[in-house]
Amino acid sequence: MAVLIYHLKIIASMMKVFLILFWTANFIQLNIPQAAGVQVFPPVNFTLTVSALAQVLLQWKPNPNQEQKNYTIRYDVKILSPVPEEYDTKKTHSIRTAALHNGFSAHVRTLLLHNELQMRSHWVKEKLPPPPGAPETSVTNLSCVTRISISSTVSLHCTWLPGQEAPEDTKYFLFYRYEMYTEECQDYIKDKWNRNTECRFSVTHIDPEEVDSLIVIHINGSSKYAAIKPFQQLFNQNAIEKVNVPRNVTVFLQQNDLLATWEKPISPFPKECFEYEFYLFNLKSGNKQILKIPVNDFRLRIDVTSRYSVQIRANHHICCTRGFWSDWSEIIYVGQNKLENSTVWILAVLCVSTCCTFLLVAIICKKTHVWSKLFPPIPAPSSKFRDLFPNNYERARSCTSETETEFSSFAEDLYCNALDDSVF
């Protein structure tokens, strides 16, 4: 009896599940009017066209066989390369910016919407082949930096390395595109093989107030010995910006605290968009600190017996993508090493006093002829045989008196020596 009741319960549970599934199926079928008879057709005339540097225009047309009554038609777009991406659109065209030196591939299909139901066609595929060129002849290690001037113009500086297989006669040419404006570089720097490896634009059409817009860099080349493969790269304009140095940095001491204030760098962005690094170096102990500061002023308790050097640099913080940190501001010194300072002054005073004393003594000695008194000249010995040579005695005496004087000429000494030799 118990077994029979158990089986009846199982059958009842199965009946409930069956009824639920049956009701759900009927409900769905009621909400798909003529769904079984509707066919979803893929788009036609799908094309990919390069409309600008690193820009592709995707175009297609609705299938003329597609039934549109009571349905909403959209299109699924899938970018396969170079960067995978999926999105849907009501339009029959789409523009995408991408580096095209390795080609471009995309799919599109029709999406039929009715209430909460979605029906899709199969994919239509199209691709762009890579541009021609020998392998490893395109540039490598491309990097670019922008700077905003005080007049709110933007400069651009790019560097790169030649491809490993690029012949020595290769000439590279750089173009940049910002929105719809394209410009070729006119100011190159060359390597030892006379190949362009750097480019500078002192003024560009880059808008410094735009946020996270793309800068397209395109570099192609030419050679007598090989086809040079072009290269493209996309840069976020804020990510490659070399931020300017903070302005009007002021540092001073207030009792036991160090206070610093400064102004934001030259930029169209407000001061809230920047963060700062505060570099503090204790010249007495050698300790270094780098502190992140989100505002334009700073206070820090320090050792007032030490001398410090201070520098500040800036970067984007909130309003846009972080760029390159600015250079450090000029070094500002504050405080003094009191013990070392007094020692230096004592040594300086001693040195000056000693020098003055020696100079004074030297002047006094020169004025009073102290040196001649302390070190008198040595007199010449007298001649014991003066009477034996009366004719030459006076002349010998004259030479003896000449040698006793403090200042005598070299010629006279030679003459006296000669007489002495003749006498003795």
pLDDT 10s digits, 333-390: 998 765 444 556 677 777 777 877 877 777 776 666 555 655 566 665 555 444 444 4
The pLDDT, as a whole number, for residue 1 is 46
On whether the CB atoms of residues 139 and 219 are closer than 8 A, the answer is: yes
What pLDDT is stored for residue 231 in this prediction?
A: 97
pLDDT tens digits along 107-155: 999 999 887 788 999 999 999 999 999 999 999 999 999 999 999 999 9
- What pLDDT does 376 receive? 63
- At 34 the pLDDT is 41
Is the pLDDT at 13 greater than 70, yes or no?
Answer: no
Amino acid 401: pLDDT: 44
Q: What's residue 69's pLDDT?
A: 74
CA distance 46 to 63: 11
Return the structure tokens found at 221: 């080349």
* Rounded percentage of the chain residues whose pLDDT exceeds 70: 75
DSSP string across 197-213 = EEEEESS-S--TT-SS-
The Cα 201–Cα 319 span in angstroms is 26
Instruction: Extract the tokens encoding 360.
Output: 């004074």
Please determine, for residue 420, whether its predicted confidence score (pLDDT) is greater than 50. no
Quick check: helix, strand or coil at residue 54? coil
pLDDT in tens, 152-181: 999 999 999 999 999 999 999 999 999 999
Structure tokens at 207: 């808008």
Instruction: Please say if the pLDDT value at position 7 is more than 90.
Output: no
Where is pLDDT greater, at 315 or 68? 315
Span of 92-96, 190-194, 273-277, 312-316 with lowest mean pLDDT:
190-194
What pLDDT is stored for residue 344 in this prediction? Answer: 61
3-state secondary structure of 239: coil
Report yes or no on whether pTM surpasses 0.75: no
pLDDT digits (tens, 9 = 90+) for 260-305: 999 999 999 999 999 999 999 999 889 999 999 999 998 999 888 8
**Of 152, 212, 214, 127, the residue nearest 179 (C-alpha):** 214
What's the pLDDT tens digit per position in 212-261? 999 999 999 999 999 999 999 999 999 999 999 999 999 999 888 999 99
**185 has pLDDT over 50:** yes
State the pLDDT at residue 391: 47
The answer to whether residue 48 scores a pLDDT higher than 70 is yes
pLDDT digit string, tens, across residues 301-312: 988 889 999 999
**CA neighbor of 292 nearest in space, from 284, 304, 283, 280:** 280
Q: What is the pLDDT of residue 372?
A: 62
Token duo for residue 155:
């400069």
Whole-number pLDDT of residue 367 = 63
Instruction: Say whether pLDDT at 79 is over 50.
Output: yes
DSSP labels, 284-297: TT--EEEEEESSSE
Question: Is the model more confident about 255 or about 95?
Answer: 95
